[in-house]
């Protein structure tokens, strides 16, 4: 028993990706950590498909895992994606690299990573995992939590913690309690699109059905489909479509007509029967963007990950950002010698502007991914920026590179991106003006000369 030691007790509410990693961070600091998760232990169950977009892991996520030596599983599980692969209507494919050579995203199955992280957390003696513990009441000021166990109203558990970390996801119960407190800013916004997963199985020969090291995108202006490779040589494909369009496709014929018109190459790979089966088996899920402030209550409670900042999935930064929360929070614990009061206040204040910047970037990419990647002007700008980055690697970094392949704080990313756009714009205008003035001067000289001739 650890009870005799004056160790501080940390209760982590929610054992998803952020909660599991946070448990590792807290255990490494020597705290007694209890993780309470409403669902069953995912490791005791078969993987359930169809409800969550694959992870596109990048630098922030990897570095946050590396800091506590938990990056092995991602490196083993992940499949590198070096570029986007754009699929046009006629089946033509065009790769657009993510960054420089050697810069790639890792396609990782969400649930596999979650299971691995829970197992890593459990290797620490200070960590206890409690599944089927549903939070039903709390007194945030005092750090008191009441759980219902095993879905049984008679089985209650009362917990007092020195620090409560709410990592209970986009529909967080802890955040709902924060919402009752004075001067808590909050917004949640559903986008008009829903998403549906479709699994593209390996070929008969047991191979990937499409080029493997790519994030495949079928941009169609008002909607799109993407596909990420899995270790079992399947692809997890995700169709993003306005809810009202999903609602219209009620019959097998309607679905096949739609795919024939919009994604004929994909339909050929899937096969009609298979596609229809997948389509009607999997649900349509909504996407929410959540912002709030502050993230903490005194020295007692803090929320992280989706509970604090759920974002739409179009930049692949949801989990990367949640993992970075853990790294940043740990840095503040180090800075303030584990003084929870000081840490929570600074975390709330400084982290807020970064994660809200990321929520905005994700919403921006919601447009870029389905529409802009098909625009020649956009592609030209991308090439120009990559060129500028090549000649001035530290001064000029494309937006996507800053987000995915650096640890520059997100709000600085936006500021620098605006600055870069402005510089390029001014340079373009200046070039135009200089050229124009040159032309005028030339013209005037000619006139003068001409006049002298008379």
Sites of contact with a copy of itself (CB under 8 A): 179, 182-190, 243, 286
Of 66 and 176, which has the nearer Cβ to a copy of itself? 176
| Rounded CA separation 157/367 (Å) | 46
226 sits in the region (left: phi over 0; alpha: psi -120 to 50; else beta) called beta
| Rounded CA separation 425/441 (Å) | 24
Residues near 49 by beta carbon (within 8 Å), at least 6 away in sequence: 197, 199, 236, 282
Of 179 and 439, which has the nearer Cβ to a copy of itself? 179
Beta carbon of residue 288, minimum distance to a copy of itself (angstroms, whole number): 8
> What is the Cβ-side half-sphere exposure of residue 452, based on CA atoms within 13 angstroms?
5
Phi, psi of 5 (to 5 degrees): -75, 150
Beta carbon of residue 181, minimum distance to a copy of itself (angstroms, whole number): 11
* Terminal C-alpha separation, the chain: 108
Of 101 and 180, which has the nearer Cβ to a copy of itself? 180
Beta carbon of residue 409, minimum distance to a copy of itself (angstroms, whole number): 23
Alpha-carbon distance values, 116 to 16, 73, 407 (Å): 11, 7, 24
Beta carbon of residue 179, minimum distance to a copy of itself (angstroms, whole number): 8
Of 124 and 184, which has the nearer Cβ to a copy of itself? 184
8 A C-beta contact, residue 71 and residue 117: no
DSSP β-ladder status, 285-293 and 185-200: antiparallel
| Rounded CA separation 108/105 (Å) | 9
Phi, psi of 212 (to 5 degrees): -80, -40
Of 187 and 231, which has the nearer Cβ to a copy of itself? 187
Of 87 and 296, which has the nearer Cβ to a copy of itself? 296
Beta carbon of residue 245, minimum distance to a copy of itself (angstroms, whole number): 15
8 A C-beta contact, residue 336 and residue 359: no
8 A C-beta contact, residue 178 and residue 184: yes
Beta carbon of residue 243, minimum distance to a copy of itself (angstroms, whole number): 8
Burial 401-411 (b: 16+ CB within 10 A, else e): bbbbbeebbbb
Compute the CA torsion angle 143, 160, 332, 342 (nearest 10 deg): 50
Of 185 and 232, which has the nearer Cβ to a copy of itself? 185
Compute the CA torsion angle 446, 449, 451, 454 (nearest 10 deg): -130
8 A C-beta contact, residue 236 and residue 230: yes
Beta carbon of residue 170, minimum distance to a copy of itself (angstroms, whole number): 12
Of 292 and 328, which has the nearer Cβ to a copy of itself? 292
Of 137 and 384, which has the nearer Cβ to a copy of itself? 137
Of 186 and 390, which has the nearer Cβ to a copy of itself? 186
Find tokens 């929320």 and name the residue: 303
Beta carbon of residue 454, minimum distance to a copy of itself (angstroms, whole number): 16
DSSP β-ladder status, 83-87 and 285-293: unpaired
Beta carbon of residue 218, minimum distance to a copy of itself (angstroms, whole number): 25
Beta carbon of residue 357, minimum distance to a copy of itself (angstroms, whole number): 17
Find tokens 């990937």 and name the residue: 208
Beta carbon of residue 358, minimum distance to a copy of itself (angstroms, whole number): 18
Of 47 and 447, which has the nearer Cβ to a copy of itself? 447
Report which of 341, 291, 329 is spatially closest to residue 175, judged by C-alpha positions. 291
């Amino acid at each position: 028993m650890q009870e005799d030691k004056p160790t501080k007790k940390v209760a982590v509410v929610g054992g998803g990706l952020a909660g599991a990693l946070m448990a590792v961070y807290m255990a490494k600091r020597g705290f007694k950590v209890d993780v309470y998760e409403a669902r069953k232990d995912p490791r005791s169950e078969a993987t359930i498909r169809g409800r969550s977009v694959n992870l596109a892991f990048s630098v922030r996520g990897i570095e946050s895992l590396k800091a506590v030596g938990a990056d092995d599983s991602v490196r083993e599980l992940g499949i590198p994606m070096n570029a986007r692969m754009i699929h046009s209507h006629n089946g033509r494919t065009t790769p657009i690299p993510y960054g420089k050579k050697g810069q790639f995203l890792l396609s990782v199955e969400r649930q596999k990573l979650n299971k691995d992280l829970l197992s890593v957390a459990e290797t620490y003696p200070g960590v206890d995992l409690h599944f089927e513990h549903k939070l039903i009441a709390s007194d945030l000021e005092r750090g008191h939590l009441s759980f219902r166990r095993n879905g049984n109203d008679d089985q209650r558990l009362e917990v007092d913690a020195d620090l409560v970390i709410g990592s209970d996801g986009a529909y967080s119960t802890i955040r709902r309690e924060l919402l009752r407190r004075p001067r808590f800013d909050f917004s949640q916004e559903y986008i008009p699109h829903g998403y549906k997963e479709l699994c593209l199985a390996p070929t008969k020969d047991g191979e990937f059905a499409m080029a493997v090291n790519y994030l495949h995108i079928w941009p169609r202006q008002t909607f799109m489909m993407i596909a990420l490779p899995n270790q079992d040589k399947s692809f997890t494909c995700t169709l993003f479509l306005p809810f009202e369009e999903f609602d219209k496709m009620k019959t097998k014929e309607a679905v096949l007509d739609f795919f024939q018109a919009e994604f004929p190459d994909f339909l050929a790979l899937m096969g009609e029967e298979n596609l229809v089966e997948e389509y009607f088996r999997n649900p349509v899920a909504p996407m929410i963007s959540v912002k709030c402030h502050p993230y903490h209550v005194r020295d007692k409670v803090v929320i992280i990950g989706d509970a604090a900042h759920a974002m739409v999935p179009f930049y692949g930064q949801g989990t990367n950002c949640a993992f970075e929360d853990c790294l940043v929070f740990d840095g503040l614990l180090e800075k303030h010698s584990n003084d929870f009061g000081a840490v929570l206040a600074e975390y709330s204040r400084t982290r807020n502007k970064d994660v809200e910047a990321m929520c905005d970037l994700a919403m921006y990419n919601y447009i870029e991914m389905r529409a802009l990647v098909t625009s020649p002007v956009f592609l030209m700008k991308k090439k120009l920026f990559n060129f500028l980055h090549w000649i001035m690697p530290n001064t000029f970094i494309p937006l996507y590179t800053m987000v995915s392949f650096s640890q520059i704080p997100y709000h600085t990313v936006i500021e620098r991106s605006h600055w870069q756009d402005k510089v390029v714009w001014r340079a373009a205008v200046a070039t135009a003006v200089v050229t124009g003035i040159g032309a005028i001067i030339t013209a005037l000289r000619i006139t003068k000369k001409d006049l002298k001739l008379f």
